[in-house]
Amino acid sequence: MLVILSGVSGAGKDTIKKELMKRDSRIISLPSYTSRKPREGEEEGVQYHFITKEEFEKKIKDNEFYEYDLHHENYYGTSRKLMNDKIASGKIIVKDIEVNGTENLIKLLKNETKLVTIFLKVEKEELRKRLIERGDNLSEDEIQLRLGRLDYEESKISLYDYVIKNDEFEKTVQIIMTIIENERRIEKLQNGSRNNN
Ligand code: 5GP
């Protein structure tokens, strides 16, 4: 099962993903490739595989990505090989992808993999506060760029199975855990009825 988490940068997706993995050992992450520089505390192969723009473009040419996107002037992409290996392991993959990537993955995988898509919604003023407090020293222009992106991301909300108002960390984590449990149950029931037919 692949659980896609979207929502603007600064919505706390990475912290939520980490907490989900801590609470349930069946949940794993799937680091994307990116050409952006690591932030403080990020490690190669944990949040992302960090490569250069040139290396990324070579991988695009070699058709190594299910999907990729240029986002805030950096590339981000989902490796076909890493994704296929992890799906085959039977674990619950939680992946953080922006809306364009989600749209592409839904088209590519909806008939092959159990997909659950979740959008985390944050108010604009709350997002501004989080971006300032996150300690990345973003300039006012960079903050404006991310705030501007919020309207675009929200315009795609109808793609998603679930929308969560992400204003309380513990509540958001609990809601996602419940969604995952229920979706697992539905998947088992559907597989059962398919096998009986
Ligand atoms: P950040 O730089 O804050 O880690 O991520 C920026 C955006 O890139 C986030 O919205 C994140 O969801 C998105 N992103 C991360 N990995 C991928 C990916 O593999 N494909 C796409 N399309 N977007 C990604």
Report the candidate in 35, 61, 23, 72 with the shortest Cα–Cα distance to residue 175. 23
| Domain containing residue 29 | 2-196
What was the pLDDT predicted at 197?
Answer: 66
Distance 119 CA to ligand 1 centre (A): 13
Q: How far is CA 159 from CA 72, 81, 130, 146, 165, in A?
A: 22, 25, 25, 21, 16
Percentage with pLDDT > 90 across the chain: 64
In tens, the pLDDT along 136-163 reads 778 888 888 888 888 899 999 999 999 9
Distance (Å, whole) CA 156 – CA 106: 13
CATH code, 46:
3.40.50.300
Rounded to the nearest 10°, the torsion over CA 167, 171, 172, 174 is: 180
Is 98 near ligand 1, meaning CB less than 6 Å away?
yes
Beta carbon of 153 within 6 Å of any ligand 1 atom: no
Report if pTM > 0.75.
Answer: yes
Higher pLDDT, 145 or 176: 176
Reduced to 3 states (helix: H, G, I; strand: E, B; else coil), residue 129 is helix
Domain count, the chain: 1
Q: Determine whether the shortest distance from the Cβ of 102 to ligand 1 is under 6 A.
A: no
Give the pLDDT confidence of 24-82 residue by residue, as tens digits. 999 999 999 999 999 888 999 988 999 999 999 999 999 999 999 998 789 999 999 99
pLDDT in tens, 76-119: 999 999 999 998 888 999 999 989 999 999 999 988 889 999 99
Return the amino acid letter for 119.
F
